[in-house]
Structure 1
Amino acid sequence: MHTTHNLLLKFYDSFSKANAQSMAECYHPEATFKDPAFGTLNQQEVTAMWQMLVERSKGNLTIEFSNVSCTDYSGSVDWVATYDFSKTNRKVVNFIQAQFEFKNGLIIKHTDSFNLWKWSGMALGWKGYLLGWTPFMQNKIRSQAKTSLKNYMKRADLS
């Protein structure tokens, strides 16, 4: 079993236990992250994002993961996040495919893929279902997510 496999087990096990600090330890200092909601983040931003999401879930977050596959240089995981979206209190069940690249035994590149339209429908209700597929709405979601993260980092003195 690759050490990278154990790294991903640690990452998702920590996530399922809402331990953002332990998740942060899995990232290389030069790591980047990308997903449909937040766009591209650097290491400082992605570790703050996980911390923010864990805190906002207030213990109401379930993480399930499967199909962990790794080499020394790359890996993938399928995972499902179930939570109440903090702004609307609507239940979200998000199916995510994660791709990883590793450097020195740590995550250097992390890309999460999911259907932003489906997510917006669950998180935002009818407006998300109706407009979530549009570039306008998807850009608005990304802009709000980035602004929310920046404000969180300022308040938590992480910037």
Structure 2
Amino acid sequence: MRRESDLIETFYQAFQRRDGAAMAACYAPDANFRDPVFELRGADVGRMWRMLCERGKDLRVEYNAVQANGDRGSANWQAWYSFSKTGRPVHNLIHAEFEFRDGRIARHVDSFDFWRWSRQALGPAGLLLGWTPLLRNKVRAEARRGLEKFTG
């Protein structure tokens, strides 16, 4: 059985290759994922990563500070990409927390500053409204619709 830190490394190395299928394989079938935009369960978790990898043509990912101890782990990662709706460049800083079960990721929570992200991705609208629940809920709804339309 692989160590949990190896699982995190495998996950982020797949992300660096934009291999969403390999990322999805790191999750338990009933896994939970949450970040400021998505709240997903089961197969939708893998679909999200496949969608992001497929659509992120200029996506670049770096990770560090991988830690794991028993059934929990964490890492920091950064992503550089162009936001699809606006074409604006984004550099996102993320902290990931993991819970493991049977050698796979059972729970994954990514945390990042939504207002910082929205200022980059959305420009003036993000600057003015990025701190509000109104904009966050709009971004969540659009992201959910995008995932529902994704067939990969």
Quickly name the TM-score band, shorter chain normalised.
over 0.9
Q: Per-residue deviation at 1:127?
A: 0.5
Q: Which amino acid aligns with 1:108?
A: A
- 1:35-59 CA-partner distances (Å, limit 9, x unpaired): 0011x1012111111111111112x
Q: Using the alignment, how far apart are the partners of 2:42 and 2:60 within structure 1?
A: 24
In the alignment, the residues of structure 2 paired with residue 117 and residue 45 of structure 1 have an alpha-carbon distance, to the nearest angstrom, of: 25
User: How far did 1:107 drift?
Assistant: 0.1
Q: 1:26 is matched by which residue type in structure 2?
A: C
Q: CA deviation at 1:148?
A: 1.1
C-alpha deviations, 1:43-91, integer Å up to 9, x for none?
2111111111111112x11100010010120000000011001111110
Distance 1:62 1:124 in 2: 19
Runs of 4+ in 1 over 4 A off after TM superposition: none
Count of residue pairs the alignment pairs up: 151
By how many angstroms is 1:99 displaced? 0.2
* Cα distance in structure 2, aligned partners of 1:51 and 1:25: 11
Which whole-Å CA distance do the structure 2 matches of 1:109 and 1:90 have between them?
Answer: 31
> TM-score scaled by structure 1?
0.92
Amino acid at match of 2:134: F
| Cα distance in structure 2, aligned partners of 1:17 and 1:70 | 23
- Report sequence identity in percent: 44
Deviations 1:83-141 (A, max 9, x none): 00111111000000000000001000000000111111101111011100011111111
* 1:44-123 equivalences in 2 (<5 Å): 44-58=43-57, 60-123=58-121
Measure, in 2, the Cα distance between the counterparts of 1:53 and 1:68.
22
Question: In the alignment, what sits opposite 2:27?
Answer: 27
Say if 2:10 is the partner of 1:5: no
Counterpart check, 1:127 vs 2:113: no
- Quote the residue 2:143 is aligned against: 145
User: Unmatched 5+ residue regions in structure 1?
Assistant: none
Long gaps (5+) in structure 2: none
Q: What is the deviation of 1:18?
A: 0.5
What's the CA shift string for 1:5-46, capped at 9, x where partnerless?
1000000000001111111110011101000011x1012111
In 2, Cα distance between the equivalents of 1:28 and 1:72?
Answer: 16
- The answer as to whether partners of 2:30 and 2:43 remain within 8 angstroms in 1 is no
1:136 maps to amino acid: L
The TM-score with structure 2 as length reference comes to 0.96
